[in-house]
A = this chain, B = another copy of it.
């Protein structure tokens, strides 16, 4: 199962070597961690796939407002919907958090779990981004696919822990990342069990049940897994607590931060990112022993399509 050239999309250097050494140390010898405790958690946006110029889920929201507008004539007058339809980001931004919650509720809920699954599958199978003209699931990071496979080959169970909606990720996570739905943790809408006609459904209500970000990530990890992870990988201050919780446990632990440093092949941002803001986690990485993966330096390939 173990490749003789592990992590091929990673350049040889201290980052790649730190990962390989950690996996070797925790899978054989005196520091070996029992298989059932080998849990690795990954953030999604900016860690496994691109999050610029906007989160993929935000692109979904905007597309979905456009496609639903014909059954909501009032949206031509009411913000934040009018701003979306008129491509006026300032008007949308002016509605603040309340506007975002309205957009998420209008585009993510009012359907059943199975209906939303079908909506996401149809969209993710066809929508493309504006810069690379690729489907979003092609804009995943080849080095991270390498890392996921490498960890699984060493009996690590890989989990996705996202601030994004869990039901937005599950329809494609197994195909794209090899991460099955039961290993996807995320933010979620309230759902209610209802009988419609004589069939039960899980109705998705226009109310946020849980936001899986910042200090919510360790809480959600404990709720879903009930074990403290051994490896945590993130790219923003939204992942700080997940990295802290993981790496402050006793025994060998690994924290990895993806640093977006490559404007040519992807994007370059950290402290001024409107998505993926990274300040504290980067500043504290040295003292906490977190490994910083510098995209430009450490990755010889960013997206899988570059390999072709």
Contacts and interface: CB of A to CB of B under 8 A. Distances in A.
B182 A226 contact: yes
B218 A166 contact: no
A119 interface: no
Interface stretch (A3-11, A132-140, A186-194): A186-194
11 contacts: A113-B222, A157-B182, A166-B223, A167-B226, A182-B226, A182-B227, A192-B219, A193-B216, A193-B219, A199-B248, A200-B248
Nearest 3 Cβ contacts at the A-B interface? A181-B226, A193-B215, A182-B225
Contact of A182 (B224, B241, B244, B248): B224
A184 B226 contact: yes
Contacts of A275: none
Interface string A194-227: 0000011010000000000001101100111111
Interface of A: 36, 113, 157, 166-167, 170, 174, 180-182, 184, 188, 191-193, 199-200, 202, 215-216, 218-219, 222-227, 241, 244-245, 248
Copies in the assembly, this chain: 2
A181 B36 CA distance: 10
Given A113-B222, A193-B218, A200-B245, 17 more contacts: A36-B174, A181-B225, A181-B226, A181-B227, A182-B226, A182-B227, A191-B222, A191-B223, A193-B215, A193-B216, A193-B241, A193-B245, A200-B244, A200-B248, A202-B219, A202-B222, A224-B224
A272 B131 CA distance: 66
A19 to B, nearest CB: 24
A218 B194 CA distance: 10
A231 to B, nearest CB: 15
Interface-central residue, A113, A167, A219, A226, by most chain B CB under 10 Å: A226
